[in-house]
A = this chain, B = another copy of it.
Amino acid sequence: MTIRYGVIGTGALGGFYGGMLARAGKDVHFLFNSDYKHVKKHGLRIDSISGNFHLSQVNAYALSDQMPLCDVLLVCLKTTNNHLLPTLLRPILHANSVVVLIQNGLGLEADLSQQMPYTAIAGGLAFICASKTGPGHITHHDYGKLNIGLHCGNAETILRQVCNDFNEANIPAHFVDDLNQARWQKLVWNIPFNGLTVVMNSATDQLIQQKHSRQLILEMMGEVIHAAHHCGAHIAPHFDQKMIELTENMAPYAPSMKLDYDNQRPMEIHYIYTRPLEIAHKAGFEMKRVVMLEAQLQFLEEKNRNR
């Protein structure tokens, strides 16, 4: 079976992952927002550390109800737009379609499943540095691995084939058995670094070099790991130390939340902070430092909106 892919939200992630699949000859249909006309005329340009390329013929759409029915929907929107998903997805789903939320945070799949209870839903975790550097122009700076796990529905077989397609497209992709564990594990990095780079107005390198902020990051990672265990997700011992070392070896980095804040775009506070706090709270654990960081981010978000 040949999988027909729909990419919902063609920014840095959607453009890169969808573009790589399309270059490898897969059947990919892209939903664009502001870049639609540009891409229709000029195609999609991807500058990647593993080689630059240009797609002159792109199956580009401005509205999802003009798209064909797709087997796999790769959702690459910012989670601040997730309220749009049922409307965007309904016209392109058939009975066996699976929706893959390639987004950060926790609780995304559960929330969508409440709105679309008969749809197979999966999650994707992207380990990648990429950014949109112009209309229809994506720059892939580093990494690229994709982990995919099932949330609900009978879709493991097709998701394994999706991973194969990505591998054929030169993207390391793995099917993970425990999506909950994978999402919590990613939060161990995302929770301290996304928020603190915003609140402290700093890149990752400064935060891990200064002893007080490094200590705070370690304590916050500890809270996330504790919460994960309460929520049935096992995180390996010393995973926090491993994340610190990984960050030390990265170039100074501004996470997506920092870029969103600096460019006065809404921050993904809800799914990276508020929902994980709610879910941990229900499981009986309070991430106290994370509560405080969330409050600080909510304050800055509101200030940013009123600027």
* A interface with B by C-beta (< 8 Å): 199-200, 202, 206-207, 210, 212-213, 215-216, 288-289, 292-296, 298-300, 302-303
Contacts and interface: CB of A to CB of B under 8 A. Distances in A.
Work out how many copies of this chain go into the complex.
2
A204 to B, nearest CB: 13
A213 B292 contact: no
Given A200-B300, A300-B200, A303-B206, A213 B289 contact: no
A200 B296 contact: yes
Contacts of A206: 303
B292 A216 contact: yes
A200 B301 CA distance: 11
Contacts of A292: 216, 289, 292-293
Nearest to A290: B292
B303 A202 contact: yes
B295 A207 contact: no
6 A-B pairs with least C-beta separation: A212-B298, A212-B295, A216-B295, A213-B299, A288-B288, A210-B299
B295 A215 contact: yes
